[in-house]
């Protein structure tokens, strides 16, 4: 079976690689650089020059060619590789009549635990949304930001003591509302310095969060290791990593306990299973990252079905049009033919051949192309803050 045509599809806030074969099968994969969709789309077109006419089943070979060619990489390029890789696995599963997890060694689980997003600009709204998520059957909440998801139009400044105490109090208030019914996955979104991360995390240890995610910017593995050495709450990080080697650097430094591999950035299903294997050897669990459409979710669930060290899966209930607002349904549910539905905090692993879902024919009509404007929240001193 040969690859006949590869095209990027910009659907709303999502970018896909659509691959057609000479046998008539079509595969779909998603690119994860939601801030730079056009760049990923251009890279998909560039790789099509090499892939069209090549055997569709040679996934590992193509993965290596795309990564090794001229050795120019980065998030947009690797997001394109990821989308193409996922689409090729989708084709192979369809051709052989099995879900992708059967090609990865078979299922070790039939369900995946999930966590829903909580996006809100005030602690009062967070507490209301936590109750709504519990009523909907979720038993874990993520994107739970005690520093709040306020708009980029609001100038920011707080003293150190106020910044710490407000966020610490917010976590304790959340725990009071949810009791022991829910695991809290505290999202810090890279907005703290190492000393701030240590101060804050040690002060919420008594609430027993499952982890704190991205307490500091992720580029420096030594800095992350420094933080990990001074706190007793596990760290989750890795959602913005584009290569397996960035995970290796963290694992070697004992700087991560939950690897947030993004299959739509870190090499697709091929890259994801490599990260999972490295993590398994270090007794580290994976928490696949997906603030994207159900296509990205489907890829994550196929991997989750096949690896022993899967912990929990991100289930994006919010971020419509790039807005930090909580919603009941999965982001982008209207562009696919099937979405796994939460039931008692879990979803069933899709078992149809390939990914287990497909784009609807009129996806682009339902969601015209949308790009996130470039902006950052200003600090009072004139600089910008990570948020």
Mean pLDDT of 257-270: 98
Question: Whole-angstrom Cα distance, residue 67 to residue 226?
Answer: 31
**Residue 141: what are its φ and ψ, rounded to 5°?**
-120, 135
What is the structure's pLDDT at 323? 85
What is the structure's pLDDT at 387? 84
Residues noted as catalytic:
189, 289
Q: Is 349 in contact with 305 (CB distance < 8 Å)? A: yes
| Residue 324: pLDDT band with limits 50, 70, 90 | confident
Residues 136 and 253 in one domain: yes
Q: Count of CB atoms within 10 A of residue 187's CB? A: 24
Question: Whole-angstrom Cα distance, residue 105 to residue 218?
Answer: 32
Residue whose C-alpha is closest to residue 112's, from 255, 314, 339, 264: 314
Q: Which of these three, 48, 77, 98, is where a domain ends? A: 98
Residues 114 and 158 in one domain: yes
Running DSSP on this structure, what letter comes out for residue 99?
B
Q: Is the pLDDT of residue 322 over 90?
A: no
| Residue 151: pLDDT band with limits 50, 70, 90 | confident
Question: Whole-angstrom Cα distance, residue 287 to residue 304?
Answer: 9
| 220: Cβ contacts below 8 Å, ≥ 6 apart | none
**3-state SS assignment for residue 231:** coil
Instruction: Look up the CATH number of the domain holding residue 336.
Output: 3.20.20.120
Residue whose C-alpha is closest to residue 81's, from 95, 68, 92, 100: 68
Q: What is the DSSP string of 318-359?
A: B-GGG---B-SSPTTGGGBS--PPPBTTEEEPP-SSBTS--B
**Residue 304: what are its φ and ψ, rounded to 5°?**
-55, -35
The pLDDT tens digits for 90-110 are: 999 999 999 999 999 999 999
Q: Which of these three, 40, 74, 98, is where a domain ends? A: 98
Percentage of residues in the chain with pLDDT exceeding 90? 93
| Residue 149: pLDDT band with limits 50, 70, 90 | confident
The rounded mean pLDDT for the chain is 96
Question: Does residue 55 belong to any structural domain of this protein?
Answer: yes
Instruction: Look up the CATH number of the domain holding residue 60.
Output: 3.30.390.10
What is the structure's pLDDT at 71? 84
Q: Radius of gyration (Cα) for the chain, nearest Å? A: 20
What is the structure's pLDDT at 46? 97
| Residue 54: pLDDT band with limits 50, 70, 90 | very high
Please report, for residues 37, 118, 209, 234, the alpha-carbon distance to residue 187 in angstroms, rounded to integers and kept in the order given: 24, 10, 11, 12
**Element (H or E) spanning 185, and its range?**
strand 183-187
Question: Does residue 302 belong to any structural domain of this protein?
Answer: yes
Mean pLDDT of 59-81: 95
Our CA angle for 238, 240, 243, nearest 5°, is 80
What is the structure's pLDDT at 175? 98
Q: Is the pLDDT of residue 312 over 90?
A: yes
What is the structure's pLDDT at 358? 97
Q: Would strands 140-144 and 183-187 be described as parallel, antiparallel, or unpaired?
A: parallel
Q: Is the pLDDT of residue 341 over 90?
A: yes
Residues 80 and 18 in one domain: yes
Residues 178 and 40 in one domain: no
Question: Whole-angstrom Cα distance, residue 80 to residue 17?
Answer: 8
What is the structure's pLDDT at 126? 95
What is the structure's pLDDT at 176? 97
Residues 59 and 149 in one domain: no
Residues 28 and 163 in one domain: no
What is the structure's pLDDT at 134? 96
Domain that holds residue 239: 102-355
What is the structure's pLDDT at 183? 98
What's the number of domains the chain is made of?
A: 2
């Amino acid at each position: 079976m040969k690859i006949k045509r590869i095209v990027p599809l910009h659907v709303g806030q999502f970018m896909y690689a659509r691959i057609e074969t000479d046998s008539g099968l079509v595969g779909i994969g998603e690119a994860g650089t939601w801030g730079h969709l056009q760049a990923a789309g251009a890279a998909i077109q560039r790789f099509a020059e090499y892939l069209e006419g090549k055997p569709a089943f040679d996934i590992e070979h193509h993965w290596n060619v795309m990564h090794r060619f001229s050795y120019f990489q980065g998030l947009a390029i690797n997001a394109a590789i990821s989308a193409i890789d996922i689409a090729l696995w989708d084709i192979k599963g369809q051709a052989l009549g099995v879900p992708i997890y059967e090609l990865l060694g078979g299922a070790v689980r039939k369900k995946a635990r999930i966590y829903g997003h909580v996006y809100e600009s005030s602690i009062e709204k967070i507490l209301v949304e936590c109750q709504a998520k519990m009523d909907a059957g979720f038993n874990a909440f993520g994107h739970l930001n005690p520093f709040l998801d306020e708009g980029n139009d609001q100038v920011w400044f707080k003293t150190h003591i106020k910044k710490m105490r407000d966020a610490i109090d917010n976590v304790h208030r959340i725990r009071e509302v949810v009791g022991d019914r829910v695991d809290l996955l505290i999202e810090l979104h890279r907005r703290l310095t190492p000393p701030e991360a240590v101060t804050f995390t040690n002060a919420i240890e008594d609430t027993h969060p499952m982890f704190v995610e991205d307490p500091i910017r992720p580029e420096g593995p030594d800095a992350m290791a420094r933080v990990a050495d001074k706190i007793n709450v596990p760290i989750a990080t890795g959602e913005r990593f584009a290569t397996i080697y960035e995970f290796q650097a963290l694992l070697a430094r004992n700087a991560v306990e939950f690897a947030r591999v993004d299959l739509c950035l870190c090499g697709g299903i091929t890259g994801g299973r490599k990260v999972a294997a490295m993590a398994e050897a270090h007794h580290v669990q994976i928490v696949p990252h997906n603030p994207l459409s159900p296509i990205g979710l489907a890829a994550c669930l196929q991997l989750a079905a096949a690896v022993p060290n899967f912990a929990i899966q991100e289930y994006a209930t919010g971020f419509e049009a790039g807005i930090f607002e909580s919603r009941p349904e999965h982001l982008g549910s209207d562009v696919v033919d099937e979405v796994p539905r939460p039931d008692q905090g879990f979803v069933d692993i899709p078992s149809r051949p390939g990914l287990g879902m497909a784009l609807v024919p009129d996806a682009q009509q339902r969601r015209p192309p949308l790009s996130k404007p470039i902006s950052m929240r200003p600090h009072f001193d004139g600089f910008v803050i990570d948020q």
